[in-house]
Amino acid sequence: MLSAEIAACRACSRLVQWREQVGREKRAAYRDEQYWAQGVPGFGDPDAHLMVVGLAPAAHGANRTGRMFTGDRSGDWLYRALYRAGYANQPESVSRDDGLVLTGAWITSPVKCAPPDNKPLPDERDTCRPFFGRELALLPNIRVIVALGGFGYQVACQELGVRPRPRFGHGVEVPLGDGRTLVCSYHVSQQNTFTGRLTETMLDDVFTRARELGGTNPEPGR
């Protein structure tokens, strides 16, 4: 099973050392919690038409909780937006057993382990990339891929064979020629959300566009 392979992977020694070190030392606010401290698989609806691609697990977010964008402020922004767009049944995600359900959406990252300073090395990116390709192959209904940030966009373009690669920019759309579309968004990192570079309205517009491109409508009442 792919998720088990991702969790057990130890291919990148620097990342394995870091994720486990963070899991031992912990942040003071989480000192009583058991950190996941493994590779973090993607999460969501196997019938999804939307794939959201981040960068890598956050050291004290997904590396702690074991689920992408769960337990950190970036995830707070993302899941609120997914809730408003009708992709999530609740606006927050704090743990793997908090009842969150995604409908029509899948969330993943090109690098599956938390990297030091949130900066994977090129060889780590390339070593992990086959997992991303296998995820795409297992999600045949994907029609829209939203890349959060330039790193996710670069890896998605490599995997999808986009050449030449258009310049990254918020709202940029790249038709893939097979009915799928790659859509760019600024990452939901605090350096973007705290500074106003990315606003909730901008993020909402991205997921509204994802609905249009995917040919689906949100659940009634959303």
The reply to whether the predicted model has a pTM over 0.75 is: yes
| 209 token code pair | 């566009």
In a domain, 221, yes or no: no
Can you tell me the distance from the alpha carbon of 4 to that of 195, in angstroms, rounded to the nearest whole number?
37
In a domain, 222, yes or no: no
Q: Structural domain of residue 207, as residue ranges?
A: 2-214
Contacts of 221 (CB under 8 A, 6+ apart): none
Compute how many other C-beta atoms are within 10 angstroms of the C-beta atom of residue 169.
11
Give the residue-averaged pLDDT of 199-220: 88
In a domain, 92, yes or no: yes
Quick check: 215 pLDDT over 90?
no
Output the CA angle 215-217-220, nearest 5 degrees: 165
Q: What is the pLDDT of residues 83-142, one digit of tens each?
A: 999 999 999 999 999 999 999 999 999 999 999 999 999 999 999 999 999 999 999 999
In a domain, 181, yes or no: yes
In a domain, 219, yes or no: no
Pairing of strands 144-148, 50-53: parallel
pLDDT band at 209 (very low <50, low <70, confident <90, very high): very high
The 144-148 sheet, strands edge to edge:
43-44, 105-108, 50-53, 144-148, 181-185, 173-175
Question: Which CATH number characterizes residue 138's domain?
Answer: 3.40.470.10
Q: What is the pLDDT of residues 58-83, one digit of tens each?
A: 999 999 999 999 999 999 999 999 99
What's the structural domain count of the chain?
1
In a domain, 129, yes or no: yes
